[in-house]
Amino acid sequence: MNYQPLIAKWQDAELASWAELLPAQIETGLSHQRYGDLARWQSALDALPDITPDTTILDAARVGAATDSPLDAQIMQQLQDALMGLHPWRKGPFELFGLHIDTEWRSDWKWDRILPALDPLDGRRVLDVGCGSGYHCWRMRGCGADEVIGIDPTPLFVMQFWALQKYLNEPDIWVLPVGIEHVPAKLHAFDTVFSMGILYHRRSPMDHLMELRNCLRPGGQLLLETLVIEGEEGAALVPEGRYARMGNVWFLPSCPTLLGWLRKVGFIDTEIVDVATTTTQEQRSTDWMRFHSLANFLDPNDSTQSIEGHPAPRRAVISARVPGSM
């Protein structure tokens, strides 16, 4: 997990302030003292077999790598065992040399909902906030992004990214073990910023929206995906306890409320791109994520309600822009 090439690359006026902070941030984010499982995950990484792909795939539902000839059974078993050492796999899917990593989320479905509203990524620098193992980062690179930076403070997801990077070997994609609060203030360095599945986990949604705005260059685009409820402007659900068994859910606004929040913090051209109820085909338990999933979080007698009696998860995709021109 060598971040030195990125730190060296960022030694310019625009990102030098972050490059200066990165070594300490990475050391903290991947600290063996803080995260006792890191040694086990590192062993799984080290156990991955050396395979040289003939093809890499970044523009299909299953991101991955392939060889022209099938691998022998022993190598395939070694590959599967090592990747299973990084369980649970939540965002994907991936396919490495014929091995399908069937993740909890069909993240390709979310990508397909976003794509119609996405400004061309050719030559752009992109930030993916809360990126998990980086599935959407690979898709962004597959759409022509010049540099993709994913950030996620969960070290397991960072290790999963590096497992994929061993075979995909894309020098302009990075997943950093940090949260949005660790990005230098008012950086204004990214052409496109994604925040998907993050806003409802933030105690202050306005602060999060301002953080996202301050990452963007003038004229840059925000793609925001979050849980919403039906309702008029001003409506929002603030669960007293858990929501769909999640304890860290703070605000679920209506779509008009969310658009108002975005305008309040300075975004323009705000637009609802898509609204969809999450199904148990899109989020489910699999061999690669064996814990409870959406089916366990809904009322068993009424799938339109969460187990706590709230409206079932419903997600909106919003596009917005920072004033100015690229």
326 assigned to some structural domain = no
Q: Which two tokens stand for residue 42?
A: 């590192």
What proportion of the chain, given as a percentage, has pLDDT over 90?
Answer: 98
Evaluate if residue 167 carries a pLDDT over 80: yes
Evaluate if residue 16 carries a pLDDT over 80: yes
- Could you tell me which of 2, 157, 70 has the C-alpha nearest to residue 79? 70
Q: Is the peptide bond before 177 cis (omega within 30 degrees of 0)?
A: no
What integer best gives the mean pLDDT of the chain?
96
- Residue 148 belongs to what domain range? 4-321
- Could you tell me which of 30, 25, 34 has the C-alpha nearest to residue 182? 25
Q: How many CA atoms lie within 13 A of 321 on its CB side?
A: 13
Output the pLDDT for position 325: 83
Give the whole-angstrom CA distance, residue 279 versus residue 53: 34
Give the whole-angstrom CA distance, residue 294 versus residue 197: 14
Output the pLDDT for position 117: 95
Return the amino acid letter for 176.
L
160 assigned to some structural domain = yes
Output the pLDDT for position 165: 98
Evaluate if residue 127 carries a pLDDT over 90: yes
Domain count of the fold of the chain? 1
199 assigned to some structural domain = yes
212 assigned to some structural domain = yes
Evaluate if residue 224 carries a pLDDT over 80: yes
Return the amino acid letter for 59.
D
- Could you tell me which of 303, 233, 312, 302 has the C-alpha nearest to residue 277? 312
276 assigned to some structural domain = yes
Output the pLDDT for position 14: 87
pTM for this model (two decimals): 0.96
Per-residue confidence at 239, pLDDT binned at 50, 70, 90? very high
Exposed, middle or buried, 67 (CB in 10 Å: 0-12/13-18/19+)? middle
CATH assignment at residue 194: 3.40.50.150
Give the whole-angstrom CA distance, residue 58 versus residue 15: 26
Give the whole-angstrom CA distance, residue 141 versus residue 165: 13
Q: Is the peptide bond before 153 cis (omega within 30 degrees of 0)?
A: no
Cα 103 to the chain's mean position, in Å? 13
Output the pLDDT for position 219: 97
Evaluate if residue 326 carries a pLDDT over 80: no
pLDDT digits over 155-166, tens only? 999 999 999 999
**What would the mean pLDDT of 38-61 be, rounded to a whole number?**
97
Per-residue confidence at 140, pLDDT binned at 50, 70, 90? very high
Q: 67 by DSSP, 3-state: which? A: coil
**What would the mean pLDDT of 309-317 be, rounded to a whole number?**
97
pLDDT digits over 68-107, tens only? 999 999 999 999 999 999 999 999 999 999 999 999 999 9
- Could you tell me which of 255, 226, 256, 252 has the C-alpha nearest to residue 239? 252
Return the amino acid letter for 249.
V
| % helix, strand, coil for the chain, step of 5 | 30, 25, 40
Give the whole-angstrom CA distance, residue 112 versus residue 95: 18
CA angle 250, 190, 320 (to 5 degrees): 55
152 assigned to some structural domain = yes
Output the pLDDT for position 12: 78
Output the pLDDT for position 13: 72
Output the pLDDT for position 230: 97
Q: How many CA atoms lie within 13 A of 287 on its CB side?
A: 8
Q: Which two tokens stand for residue 9?
A: 């690359």
Backbone CA torsion sign across 292, 45, 63, 276: positive
Output the pLDDT for position 170: 95
Length of the chain: 326
Output the pLDDT for position 147: 97
Give the whole-angstrom CA distance, residue 279 versus residue 284: 9
**What would the mean pLDDT of 296-320 be, rounded to a whole number?**
97
Query: Which residue matches tokens 């202050």?
Result: 204
Helix axes 107-114, 135-142, angle to 10 degrees: 40
123 assigned to some structural domain = yes
Evaluate if residue 186 carries a pLDDT over 80: yes
- Could you tell me which of 191, 234, 228, 188 has the C-alpha nearest to residue 211? 188
